[in-house]
A and B are shown apart, each in its own frame.
Chain A
Amino acid sequence: GPKVLQIPSHQIIDMGQMVTLNCDPVSNHLYFYWYKQILGQQMEFLVNFYNGKVMEKSKLFKDQFSVERPDGSYFTLKIQPTALEDSAVYFCASSLDWGEQYFGPGTRLTVL
């Protein structure tokens, strides 16, 4: 199926630092998403993004989080500053419309 890429696969940083997670969505997709998965638990929606704007965000999408996709480049999730509870696997997804979403392999973020 369609491939979504994520860089890096694993990131370790100290609490309080900034981190940027990168996503390369499927080329013709228009909608972009971030989800968070803590080990062994369900995936939880963070945010969706369309036409340069945040469409919807959950309560997990704290003020320290931001997303952007400057002109066809990576769709990014930035966390500044990071906290211990931000440690999780972050999955990017994209979709052509409001149908099925295709997920990347995830970025494992470890905040020390």
Chain B
Amino acid sequence: AQKVTQTQTSISVMEKTTVTMDCVYETQDSSYFLFWYKQTASGEIVFLIRQDSYKKENATVGHYSLNFQKPKSSIGLIITATQIEDSAVYFCAMREGGAGANTGKLTFGHGTILRVHP
């Protein structure tokens, strides 16, 4: 069965620094998709970035990038030049199966609280 684990409960950083959030996953599938979302203080859930398992290159979107280490089943999220408004709960999620798989189910981790201080 699929499982996503985020071991860091919370992280505090100073503004404008770089932070890395960890995520490891378990799956029996050879093809899968990994996502990071953030949940703001208002409860809004925002899609940030995605990594497809068959892609070797780490995904990058704006000041978000991923550290995908497939042999370790690890997908870390890196935020560079953090801003106060990056303070949120960050969730890692996985969808099993390739493009032809008959499921869109996302399995989420428990989340990591990020606090960015001025």
Contact = CB atoms under 8 A, between A and B. Distances in A.
Interface of A: 1, 31, 33, 35, 41-45, 48, 55-56, 58, 89, 91, 95, 97-103, 105-106
A1 B110 contact: no
Interface residues of B, number: 25
Contacts, number: 63
12 contacts: A1-B47, A44-B108, A45-B107, A91-B45, A95-B104, A98-B97, A98-B99, A99-B33, A103-B37, A103-B47, A105-B44, A106-B45
Interface in B36-70: 37, 42-47, 50
Give the 8 A-B CB pairs with smallest separation, nearest first: A103-B45, A43-B108, A42-B108, A45-B105, A42-B110, A100-B47, A48-B104, A56-B103
Nearest to B100: A98
B104 A1 contact: no
A60 to B, nearest CB: 12
B68 to A, nearest CB: 16
A11 to B, nearest CB: 15
Nearest to B102: A55
A42 B105 contact: no
